[in-house]
Amino acid sequence: MSQEAPSEVVRKVEESPLEDLLRVSIDEVQVQMDSYLEPEIDSASLYRRWEKQQWAVSDLDFSEDARQWATIPEGSREAIRRTMTLFFIGEQAVTDTLGPVLHAAPHEDERVFLATQIADEARHTVFFYRFFDEVLEVHGGLRAALEAVGPQATEGFRRIFDTHLADATDLVRREPGNRRAWVEAIVTYHLIIEGYLALAGQRNLLRYFRSAGLMPGFTTGFTAVARDESRHIGFGVLALRRRVTEDGEMGRVVARKVLELLEPAAQTAVNPESRLNIPDPATVPAELRQSPIELREFSIGSLVKRLRSVGLSDSTVEDLASEMRGIYGRLWDRYEEIHGTEHPVRWYQRQEAAAAP
């Protein structure tokens, strides 16, 4: 990442037009994202950023991506395609389900911001549709593309989106005055789906493409997506902090909902049911390796920062982080039971053990 001061990194990310985002790293976007935890940030300031950070999917050029796609090894293409598919389905699902949360938001500034978020999610859906059509050759229009990729959703992903998100937003639709239901919907979407699952997936893909010098059109557009979602996550933290400040019981609601979602979220990230068709880590250049341990710790660390900013106690946050680490360990074990071979994480664990004093 750039050695610039954090304030300069934030300015660079926030002010870069679409054509300059290829030179903005996902690590820099995450510095900007963390700046939204500062006390001076409010819904109005996030709205103003939305006005200034508009971009058009039609301005992206995927011609070089289409040429490069065929040069990526098949095992890596399979893993990349799987991750992109989950993003495509997820963006569409959120576009379709976030309306009741907007309608039930108790404050006008929250309703205004959530309206911008729905517009963002629709744009992200179109971004993935164009990429799937022009690069992955999934044709037939948006509906046909979604129908084609829908069956590829993993078990953990379906639990998060088809059960937890759908149930949470439907309860808000049926009971718009239910404050607990609204808080649980914000936890599900803004903290877990965007602040945990999407954040880790964005980092994984964009770091890989930047290191390998691949997919410039996708990298530019997906960096714009990540910048949009940094506003969404910042709003979620603000909204939950507001509720916890007004009513301490809401902190317990947040903690219980996070605990409920940890296992299906980690299952989505690890996906133990699918055998990984990737090279032996020992044969991969160090700059292209993606350690499951490092990815786990990044995901946990990102969620921990936001839970503390919401107002949860240190002991509660530490208990949730410990539970997450245990879930990952059990899912890696489950992968090995299902497939009869060790998970790639074992290579990284051996490397860590060998390097320990």
Give pLDDT tens digits along the chain (357 positions): 546 778 899 999 999 999 999 999 999 999 999 999 998 899 999 999 999 999 999 999 999 999 999 999 887 888 888 888 888 888 888 888 999 999 999 999 999 999 999 999 999 999 999 999 999 988 877 677 667 666 666 788 889 988 999 999 999 999 999 999 999 999 999 999 999 999 999 999 999 999 999 999 999 999 999 999 999 999 999 999 999 999 999 999 999 999 999 999 999 999 899 888 777 888 887 877 889 999 999 999 999 999 999 999 999 999 999 999 999 999 999 999 999 999 999 999 999 999 888
**Which fold would CATH assign to domain 6-355?**
Ribonucleotide Reductase, subunit A (1.10.620)
Distance from chain centroid for Cα 206? 12
Pull the structure tokens for residue 160.
Answer: 């998060």
Helix residue spans in the chain (DSSP H) = 6-15, 26-35, 43-52, 63-69, 74-97, 99-104, 108-134, 142-149, 155-158, 166-174, 179-186, 199-212, 216-246, 249-270, 292-310, 314-339, 345-355
Helix residue spans in 152-291 (DSSP H) = 155-158, 166-174, 179-186, 199-212, 216-246, 249-270
CA distances from 125 to 128, 144, 202, 218 (A): 5, 13, 15, 13
Distance from chain centroid for Cα 104? 24
Kindly list the domain boundaries of the chain, sorted by start residue: 6-355
In which residue are the tokens 């989505």 written?
268
Q: Is 161 exposed, middle or buried (0-12, 13-18, 19+ CB in 10 A)?
A: buried
Distance from chain centroid for Cα 321? 18
Pull the structure tokens for residue 71.
Answer: 């040069």
Task: Identify which of 311, 324, 314 has the alpha carbon closest to the alpha carbon of residue 258.
Answer: 324
Task: Identify which of 248, 290, 244, 325 has the alpha carbon closest to the alpha carbon of residue 75.
Answer: 290
pTM of the predicted model as reported, rounded to 2 decimal places: 0.93
Q: What is the DSSP letter of 190?
A: I
Contact 281, 344 (CB under 8 A): yes
